[in-house]
Structure formats: structure tokens, C-alpha cells
Structure 1
Amino acid sequence: MDNQETKFGFTTFAENWNGRLAMLGFVIGIATEYLTGQGILSQLGLM
């Protein structure tokens, strides 16, 4: 981890973590759909 003055905004540090968390959320969403047999909208009661 680089020592940067700011950790907020459009910095490399923030964008790397944003991408990692987005990939993690996507994988969790796909796994949840696979395990339950329902899509996310069905799980939320929207369909």
C-alpha cells in the first residue's frame, strides 16, 4: 500500500479497492443465485 496523503476521491488506492469490492459483490451475487435458484430480484420480492 502506497503512502498517499489522501485516501478519498479518485485515487489509485480508492479505485483499486472499489474494483475489488465490486468483483467480490458480483461473485457473491452469482453464488447466491446458484445456491437459491432465484435471481436477486426474486429474492427481494420485486418479481
Structure 2
Amino acid sequence: MTSSQPTTAPKLSEPKFGFNDYAERLNGRAAMIGFVAALIVEYVTGQGVLSWLGLM
């Protein structure tokens, strides 16, 4: 008996660009880190982020 070989090529995932699940998850995590960092800056300095940066 001979071993049977697959007759079709395996379906590989195509590269994703733009809005996909991984990019959205990474962006959300970066936004959460940035928001917490802004809160810490306000708590430590007693000023808002804009005034801390010298924009107000």
C-alpha cells in the first residue's frame, strides 16, 4: 500500500495590513499605558500634562 500525498497546498494566512485584531489590541494596550502615565505625571507634579509640557 502506498502512502497518499495531499492533493492541495496548505492554506497559509495572508499577511495583514491596516486594521486587524493584533494591531487593535496593541494600540489599545499602548493607549492604556499612555493614559496611566499621564495620570502619574499629573499626580506627581500637581500640574496637567499640557502645562507640564509647557503648552499652557
Q: 1:30 aligns with which of 12, 36, 39?
A: 39
Which structure 1 residue ranges, 5 or more long, are not aligned? none
Verify the 8 A CA contact 1:29 1:40 in the aligned structure 2.
Answer: yes
Instruction: Give the TM-score normalised by structure 1.
Output: 0.79
- Distance in structure 2 (CA, Å) of the matches to 1:38 and 1:13: 35
What RMSD over aligned residues (CA atoms) do the two structures have, in Å? 1.5
- Which residue is equivalent to 2:21? 12
The structure with more helix, counted as a fraction of residues: 1
Q: Percent identity?
A: 61
What is the TM-score of this pair, normalised by structure 2? 0.68
Q: Count the aligned residue pairs.
A: 44
Q: C-alpha offsets along residues 2-47 of structure 1, whole Å, 9 cap, x if unaligned?
A: xx64354100000000000000100000011101101011111121
**Higher-Rg member (1/2):** 2
More contact order relative to length (CA 8 Å, sep ≥ 6): 1
